[in-house]
Structure 1
Amino acid sequence: MSIENGTRTAIVTGGSRGIGRAIVQRLAAQGYAIVVGYAGNADEAAAAVKEATAAGAEAFAYQADVADETAVAAMFAEAESRFGGVDAVVNSAGRMFLAPVAELDLDELDALHRTNIRGTFVVAREAARRLRPGGSITLFSTSVVGTYFPTYGAYAASKGAVEALTMVLAREMRGRDVNVNTVAPGPTATDLFLDGKSEELIAQLAQANPLERLGEPRDIAEVAAFLASPAGHWVNGQVVRANGGMV
């Protein structure tokens, strides 16, 4: 199966849960063949595949640590073997750890940066080597890079690196007909975001934007799916802050 017969293929890392899973569902509805990349939860990955196939897509799950270049290369190779090539890569895999800078556990910092920085570079590097013309690379940051909330220092720093990479990679893809963008969500109702937060804090964050609610995974999936689609191909080298108007 290949782009010549009208079918596009997407790899979505972090595709078993949260925003990544919503992106899998959205791209499946758009007719993509899907690779659900996941780190460890095989049951959730299988459920994401089941949802994609119920929408009419061909899909399979592949376990790969995004920071492991051998595993990521094997995931891309498997996608090419099954579907003929890769057209869209959405790297939504990520790790969050919150602490004041003065109290930060450096082991947690290393683990966070391994996934969010090294993992992004590994996936982006493989995508840059393999994507077919007309393809798309969509990375993930966070609106906290601009809101500067306390305790988010390590997480925001890791995502700042992703934003710095975005235009550089877009320019390096000159002549390849591949666009590169980053989505930077605001507070979004996922397990990753909600974990450890009080009801009071969640309510406060929901009121921080003019639309006065938390984002939903489907809100972010719509943005990512647009950027990955032919309709969004003219958008290139951009960081899109999908956050309801949060300053």
Structure 2
Amino acid sequence: MDDRANEAAAGSMGPGVFAEMVAAAPVPLWVIGIDGVVAFANPAALALLGYGSAAEVIGESSHDTLHHRRPDGSDYPPQTCPILDRAGSHEAGEPEWFLTRAGQALPVTWTTRPLGSSGRRLLSFAEVSDSLAANRRRPAEEGRALRHAVDVAGVPSRRLAREAMLRRVREEFGDPDFTVAALASEFHLSVRSLQVLFAEAGISPAAEIRRVRLEFAADLLAGGSTVRHAALASGFTDPGTFARAFRRQYGEPPSNQARRTSTPQ
């Protein structure tokens, strides 16, 4: 298909053979508008990321939907994301991580290409298999690693091993260098194995670290702390990152909480 045909097909995105073909494609396909929002997502993409319908993502920021943060919980600034680079086609040099609707990190490879001269970009992606992902273990190896984690924790089950790890989160969250990778290393696990263990309880290690930090920060703010002190004391190195995470968790900026605390009742 030449560039003119590509442009015509991409411009329709409505009823017709092309739209039906894209919708039925087994490869996850995702169209990013010139303004960076999701313009189209086929069923394969929605299924892989755990969304029930396209209505949940259409019109939303593509970057924020796919990976507004990295697996360790740190922010992923959109200006550093190669997927949003509109200059030509791009391909992931190594597996990257997208976030599912449930917040789980998913290792993927991806490619992008412009859709004619419309300014929109076509993103195709696929989950990285165990045989291809350099940072994932084969199931047998992963099972041995998890059993070893149980031994290290000195407990008789995966559930209790997970609880031991959650205790470490509550003990170490104030250290800004305490990350998912650091927790995994302490228990002699890969990051992926740690995520699998946490996923059995429907949670993720990055989300748990962030949740504990934010809850501690909220307590500090309620006690009269400044926003900056609450951020640093709870393990955030950047007040801006803290403010964005706090707003996502509590629906308001931390300055509102601090203002209410400092206002005489």
TM interval, short-chain normalised: under 0.3
Q: Which has the larger radius of gyration?
A: 2
TM, length-normalised to structure 1: 0.25
RCO (CA 8 Å, sep 6+): is it higher in 1 or 2?
A: 1
